[in-house]
Chains A and B, each alone.
Chain A
Amino acid sequence: MRCQDVMELLSPYLDGALATEEREAVRLHVARCPKCSAELEELRACIGMLKELPLIAPPTGFRVGLMEKIDQLPSQQGSSKDKNIFDRVTGIARSSWYRVVAVAAVMAMAVGITSLWEKEGVQFLPLEQKPKGVVAVHEPQKASKEPPVVKEQQPSQVGQSSEPGASGSKSAVNSKGSGVKQPDPQQGNATVPVITEAVKKQVEGYVPKPSTGMAVVSASLRLDVVDIEAALKSVGSIALDNGGTYLGSQDSGSIGIKVPRQSFERVIGALQKLGGVLSYLPTEKDVSVQHQTAKAELERLKAEQGELQTKLTSEPSQELERQLADLNQALLKQIDTMKQLEDRTNHCLINITLQ
């Protein structure tokens, strides 16, 4: 084996991707060729370096931003609703019934033109010589003998077909005649129950907390410490030890932490031991009324959603669909607002100034 051939096989050789014979040939060549051996080692090192590249954490706020984008997406489960008009038209054009109807329509046009010629006294194509399918368009009484596809194209028969075998075309031609309880997949209202279902799950999955006594607690603490740097570190440790988070410092010597409500007193006690307390200002803001109002609004939206859903089932319309979609968005937003408010009552913000 020549060096050039071996060089080309070194990469799959390293991956164990060569057949036994080739692998053995490469191994033997490398064992006695210093140049190829060095090449193999360099390649191996190079791959190793690439594999050693570390994982990189996404930037802060990445996930929050992503979920916001996802929340703004139209409901993914309403497939046909989400398609734009081009997609819908393309979908229709690709369907088999459309092709059949299109062929029949062209044939009908051809016959129409031919009959005009006949009226002017110039008979280009005698009736008895017309192809079967074409004749059926002009002779409804013979329809049963003709292929069902051509028969269904006749305007006079739209909405009256009762043949089970014709159902594939019926839904397309007879869209107005179909019952409300069997929504036509080509119509937007087919997706409404699905969207509502997804929202319903989120709405039902959320149980508001009792509003009574709900309050947002925060505090501002000013401490006189010997070593600011050391004290800052201690503040971070106290927060973490109590299940809280470090929010960062706004300026030198000032730091914000967020701790669970139940740890508040304990954290304040530990912080006060870090130095002399120059000032301590706890605040408790009653948000029970705010929460109660938000809860009432949520109930109102839910009731409105129920009414709209019922109305939409009996009178499907795009306007109602739009209203329902807006309402669903409002519902989810309301739940989000309430969750945020509840979260604020579960945690306390403490601002500590060290000097």
Chain B
Amino acid sequence: MPLEDQLLVERSKKGDREAFEHLVQLYEQKVYTIAYRLMGNHADAADLAQDAFIKIYQALPNFRGDSSFSTWIYHITVNVCRDELRKRQRRPTVSLDDNNSDGNNYTYEIRSTAPGPEEMLDRSETQVMIQQCLDSLNDDYRTILIMREIQELAYEEIAEILGCSLGTVKSRLSRARQALKEKISKQMEPLSPCKRLAK
């Protein structure tokens, strides 16, 4: 764990509000992104990312540092979202410029490495399409893809978080990737033959 994180975690454990706020600042983007990728809309992502941070705050005194702090908080985030998805048992709808449920008009930013305008537009369209494909997968597939490709967790870590065997992780991930590939292919084929998957 980076020294800065370590100090902030220690101070937060002792009830230092500012230290915890600093931790939130460091990790809010990643936590929010995971929530958004899993839920597919900003209103849910904002609510659940906040819930995740509240859980993190409450569980902080029990954090012993067995895993890295980032792995620990991403784990909590995934669990909070999975619980919500289980509760709903329905597919979330995608909305990239929705208003928050509390009535606030939030502004959203998408970080990128500042490509040219045309590439930006193209990239943005592709990203929206990928998110739509992700949303159309079942919860298990979407979760495992996010854990592996976005959180970049090892198979062992995924198995631990999901409470399943390594074999299950391998096979589920394989099926999830296959399913995503098929969805993306379907989306891309009608657009243009040059926009085939292989770049």
Classify chain A's interface size: 35 or more
The reply to whether A56 and B29 form a contact with Cβ atoms under 8 Å apart is yes
Per DSSP, are chain A's interface residues mostly helix, strand or loop, or mixed? helix
Choose, from B15-23, B71-79, B83-91, the stretch at the interface. Answer: B15-23
The reply to whether B197 and A42 form a contact with Cβ atoms under 8 Å apart is yes
Measured in the bound complex, the distance between the Cα atoms of B58 and A15 in whole Å is 35
- Contacts known (A49-B130, A50-B180, A62-B46); A10 close to B37, Cβ less than 8 A: no
Per DSSP, are chain B's interface residues mostly helix, strand or loop, or mixed? helix
Choose, from A68-76, A140-148, A235-243, the stretch at the interface. Answer: A68-76
The reply to whether A54 and B53 form a contact with Cβ atoms under 8 Å apart is no
Measured in the bound complex, the distance between the Cα atoms of B126 and A11 in whole Å is 22
For the complex, is B30 an interface residue (Cβ under 8 Å from A)? yes
Report A180 CB to chain B, min CB distance, Å: 25
Complex contacts, A197 vs chain B, CB 8 Å: 15
Report A225 CB to chain B, min CB distance, Å: 27
For the complex, is A164 an interface residue (Cβ under 8 Å from B)? no
For the complex, is B161 an interface residue (Cβ under 8 Å from A)? no
Nearest CB in chain A to that of B13: its residue = A77
The reply to whether A50 and B150 form a contact with Cβ atoms under 8 Å apart is yes
Nearest CB in chain A to that of B53: its residue = A66
* Contacting residues of chain A (18-70) with chain B, CB-CB under 8 angstroms: 41-63, 65-67, 69-70
For the complex, is B184 an interface residue (Cβ under 8 Å from A)? yes
Measured in the bound complex, the distance between the Cα atoms of B1 and A67 in whole Å is 24
Name B's A-contacting residues (CB within 8 A).
Answer: 14-17, 20-21, 24-25, 28-30, 32-33, 36-37, 42, 45-46, 49-50, 53-54, 57-58, 60-61, 100, 104, 106-112, 126-127, 130-131, 134, 145, 148-150, 155, 170-171, 173-174, 177-178, 180-181, 184-185, 197-199
A sample of 15 inter-chain contacts (CB < 8 A) reads A7-B178, A10-B174, A45-B199, A46-B184, A53-B131, A55-B33, A56-B29, A57-B29, A58-B45, A59-B46, A61-B104, A66-B54, A67-B21, A73-B58, A198-B15
